Amino acid sequence: MRDLIKKLLRETLDYKGEHSAPDKDDTPIYDMTQTLPDDIYSNDAVRLYGEHSDEYSDQYSIHIIHSVRNKPKAKVKIYRAVPDLNYDVSKKIKELSSIISYKNQFGFYPMKNKIVNDLDAKYYDSISDYDKRMQQIYNDIETEINNLSAQKSKGLTINNGDWVTINPDYAKSHGRNNLNNKFKIITKTVPANTLFTFGDSIHEWGYNEGVNEGINEGINEGVNLAIFITDSYIIIFDKATLNFYGVATYEKIENGLYHIPAMGAEKGYGFYLFNIILTLINPDYLIADRDSSTSALAVKMLNRIYQDPNIEHITLKPTDKNYFHYPNESSEYNAIVNTKFRIKKPLNVSKMLADGKAIMAKQKIRTDKLNDKAFDYFSNKLG
């Protein structure tokens, strides 16, 4: 169990630790001219907008972009490389199954096989009859295969808000380069009007069904949370099933101002993640992204929070004493940086912990210092 928890935490950070994908407020795949010049639809598009990689074809993605132009209901197959949560288990099952297959085919075990030799040595003194000893080895291997099969995690799926690609080779390249080559490619066929871009890639898209998952949507007071907190990460899971609910990264800039560059939650659990941030970090002011390429994402996310009827917000004026001004940023962005948020019906995290509806492990360690010690601490708390 502890190894599984450590594995899930590591792969969750790989899978979710990224900036938000483009959504319905951005450019749809069926009308790229909302962001790019008309030449995106020309015969010169590959030269102008391609990445010219040896690992995947620019022509493949451009062909799809051209084929769905002005066709919002056209079907598009999307791909995503995700951590193969069962990679090590499946590898072990395959190794054991090959021994069983060999024995069934030839009537004896493969020579100089360490697994077979170790089991033979284990039973050599207690089972003197050779045939019975060989059968016991067979039984042990089958039992181990069944035990390992029962440990397999449910596979990841493509969800609303995910980064995806329309190019299968691009997905494979991402898996090889970002997931230590331990990945699976998952797919889904969706309407063109659910795929959006910032206009900076012909291969990467945001999958968004156009659903505004309000911060408080899907509140379930009976939820059982596992909360893992470091000096710069908050991750929430279901403490029984270990299903991922949400992750946020954060850093303290100065005084009570906190920077949150990335925050993502499964549908219905944004409430818990946002509430935990407000309750446990206790910021005076929240959400500031100093990276100019992503500041628009912070503005977009906070604008949605503004619209949630269960969230109250107080915004400082530029003349106020504690106003925090970012040079060279828009007035809208500075307004969001200087906003304090409060949930009208707060989740009582302390009571959830006391009632056993949540467990929490805090570790004073920076994100870039996450190591086995930190994961062991959390897995021990859960295990």
Task: For residues 26 and 142, state if they share a domain.
Answer: no
- Among 150, 169, 196, residue at a domain's last position: 150
d(CA 20, CA 246): 13
Q: pLDDT per residue over 327-337, tens digit each?
A: 656 666 566 66
Q: Determine, yes or no, domain membership for 200.
A: yes
Q: pLDDT per residue over 129-155, tens digit each?
A: 999 999 999 999 999 999 999 888 776
Choose from 17-21, 168-172, 248-252 the range with maximum mean pLDDT: 168-172
Query: Is the distance from CB of 76 to CB of 60 less than 8 angstroms?
Result: no
Q: pLDDT per residue over 229-240, tens digit each?
A: 776 777 777 766
d(CA 163, CA 155): 17
Give the DSSP H or E segment for 183.
strand 183-191
Task: For residues 284 and 180, state if they share a domain.
Answer: no
Q: What length does the chain have?
A: 383
Query: Is the distance from CB of 228 to CB of 8 less than 8 angstroms?
Result: no
**pLDDT above 70 coverage of the chain, percent:** 59
**Average pLDDT of the chain, as a whole number:** 76
Q: Determine, yes or no, domain membership for 216.
A: no
Residue 289's alpha-carbon distances to 51, 295, 336, in angstroms, are 28, 5, 10
The HSE-up count of residue 67 (CA atoms within 13 Å, CB side) is 12
The per-residue pLDDT for 198 is 84
Task: For residues 167 and 130, state if they share a domain.
Answer: no
As given in the structure block, the two tokens for residue 81 are 């490389």
Task: For residues 187 and 284, state if they share a domain.
Answer: no
Query: Is the distance from CB of 261 to CB of 291 less than 8 angstroms?
Result: yes
Task: For residues 69 and 162, state if they share a domain.
Answer: yes
The per-residue pLDDT for 180 is 78
Of residues 227 and 192, more confidently modeled: 192
d(CA 347, CA 272): 7
Task: For residues 191 and 304, state if they share a domain.
Answer: no
d(CA 190, CA 205): 12
Task: For residues 117 and 249, state if they share a domain.
Answer: no
Q: Determine, yes or no, domain membership for 7.
A: no
d(CA 181, CA 81): 10
Task: For residues 116 and 194, state if they share a domain.
Answer: no
Q: Determine, yes or no, domain membership for 14.
A: no
Residue 108's φ and ψ, nearest 5 degrees, are: -150, 165
Residue 72's φ and ψ, nearest 5 degrees, are: -60, -20
Task: For residues 28 and 62, state if they share a domain.
Answer: yes
Q: Determine, yes or no, domain membership for 15.
A: no
The per-residue pLDDT for 255 is 61
Q: Determine, yes or no, domain membership for 218.
A: no
Location of structure tokens 């039984």: 139
Q: Which domain holds residue 107?
A: 87-150
Task: For residues 236 and 146, state if they share a domain.
Answer: no
The per-residue pLDDT for 321 is 66
Q: What is the mean pLDDT of residues 168-173?
A: 95
Q: Determine, yes or no, domain membership for 16.
A: no
The per-residue pLDDT for 234 is 78
Task: For residues 116 and 162, state if they share a domain.
Answer: no
Q: Determine, yes or no, domain membership for 327.
A: yes
3-state secondary structure of 299: helix
Report the domain count for the chain.
3
Task: For residues 290 and 358, state if they share a domain.
Answer: yes
